[in-house]
Structure 1
Amino acid sequence: MKTIRIVLAGLALGLPAAGFAQADLAAATYIGVEIGNGKVSLSCPANTRCSPVDTSLVVRAGHRFNPAWAFEVTYAHIDADFGLLTYNRSAEFVGFGVGAVYTLPLSSSVGAQFRFGGASNELKLQPAVGLGQTSPGTITTRSVKPYVGLGLSWQFARHWSASVNADLTRADLRDSPTSAKQAVTVRMLGAGIAFNF
């Protein structure tokens, strides 16, 4: 009976019933997990092939205040190992972000999402060492950087949605304990699923 009353009220106001369903779904708390690939754009020495790309994990939790806007916190992790037999390097990225999400509806169940905010980023670098050289150990550099993201979300059930996302931020690193900081780009591409409470 409640559903019938909502539909009749929507028709009386000249609004589609799907709009009520979408608004109801939009005002929700959610948590999602996303797996993909991440890249930390470290420079490689000349004549050395390396590709610092590895699996990325992103966890998002947020609350939608209305169909368009949400507040969101994120956790992101990339652990990239790359190199050759005599040249090995690794970088671990961890980021905690706080920001906003704007959703542009493309249909009653699909929306384009735009993310922006700030993140506390940590980059742990294990510098490359040649044969017979002593490793300087892991060098950890922390920084606060802006982040942006673009995604496509599909609400396929009352409590469930799936999405594909691209996220971009920056991080600082040092090649040695005494070297100056340099900024590198960190990007993540992934797909995930979210539960809407």
Structure 2
Amino acid sequence: MTTIRFVLAALAIGLPASGFAQANLAGANYIGVVVGTGKVGLNCPSGTRCSPVDTNRTLRAGHRFNESWAFEVAYAHTDADWGVLGYNYSAEFVGFSVGAAYTLPLSASVGALVRVGGASNELKLQPAVAFGQSNPGTLTTRSVKPYVGLGLSWQFARHWSTSFNVDLTRADLRETPNGSKQSVTVRTLGAGIALNF
């Protein structure tokens, strides 16, 4: 009797994972868009209008090897608030990433996501310039950094899923044309929808 209960319990635990695998493998490929906020870890100078948080858009495409593992590429862009006449101090972030995604099924249609990989990041900065001083223009710094992401996905139809995502990476920042680079944290937070095909 104990063996029968054990087998039934194992089947009950295994069914949600199996259901998720069947739903999630409606197609081996997927493409999705995530919209939310992006935060660049700027240290805002006093007396300036600073905008470390703005709108972020991420486009992500992937290929599933099985119900757990996938290869992903992504493009992320955080808009900048440039202000007027160079009195602003803010940044624009663009990142291209390549990595792996792991899905842990939580139920028949819900899964937890973990993402890791590398990103080619570009950070554009508009420095704060006092009245009468020369504006150096937009300073662009490029770097290659690791990234990590967490998410929660829901397969609400055979070919469609929605997700909530948090992604973290680093980017180099140069505040003057010949100044030294400093590393800042870039965080994106958003909800998205994906087509599975």
- Tell me if both proteins adopt one fold, taking TM over 0.5 as the criterion: yes
Which deviates further from its counterpart, 164-173 or 87-96?
87-96
* Distance in structure 2 (CA, Å) of the matches to 1:141 and 1:190: 25
Query: Which residue is 1:147 aligned to?
Result: 147
| RMSD over equivalenced CA pairs, Å | 2.2
What SS is found at the alignment partner of 1:80?
A: coil
Is the 1:79–1:90 contact (alpha carbons within 8 Å) kept by the matching residues of 2? no
* Distance in structure 2 (CA, Å) of the matches to 1:17 and 1:164: 21
Point out which structure has higher relative CO (alpha carbons under 8 A, 6+ apart).
Answer: 2
Unaligned runs of 5+ in 2: 1-10
Pairwise CA distance, 1:90: 2.6
Is the 2:71–2:100 contact (alpha carbons within 8 Å) kept by the matching residues of 1? yes
What SS is found at the alignment partner of 1:22?
A: helix
Query: Which residue is 1:22 aligned to?
Result: 21
What SS is found at the alignment partner of 1:23?
A: helix
Query: Which residue is 2:189 aligned to?
Result: 189
Query: Which residue is 1:9 aligned to?
Result: none
Pairwise CA distance, 1:52: 1.2
Query: Which residue is 2:120 aligned to?
Result: 120
Alignment of 1:93-108 (within 5 A): 93-108=93-108
In the alignment of these two chains, the number of paired residues is: 184
What SS is found at the alignment partner of 2:157?
A: coil
Query: Which residue is 1:72 aligned to?
Result: 72
Runs of 4+ in 1 over 6 A off after TM superposition: 82-86
Q: Percent identity?
A: 70
Query: Which residue is 1:134 aligned to?
Result: 134
Q: Which amino acid aligns with 1:120?
A: S
Pairwise CA distance, 1:133: 1.8
* Distance in structure 2 (CA, Å) of the matches to 1:86 and 1:17: 56
Which deviates further from its counterpart, 75-84 or 173-182?
75-84
What SS is found at the alignment partner of 1:19?
A: helix
* Distance in structure 1 (CA, Å) of the matches to 2:131 and 2:84: 12
Describe the superposition over 1:8-48 as per-residue Cα deviations: whole angstroms up to 9, x where unpaired.
Answer: xxxxxx77498267236335100000100001111112465
- What is the TM-score when the length of structure 2 is the normalising length? 0.86
Pairwise CA distance, 1:146: 0.2
Unaligned runs of 5+ in 1: 1-13
* Distance in structure 1 (CA, Å) of the matches to 2:167 and 2:20: 29
Describe the superposition over 1:95-146 as per-residue Cα deviations: whole angstroms up to 9, x where unpaired.
Answer: 0000000101000100000000000000011111121222101111100000
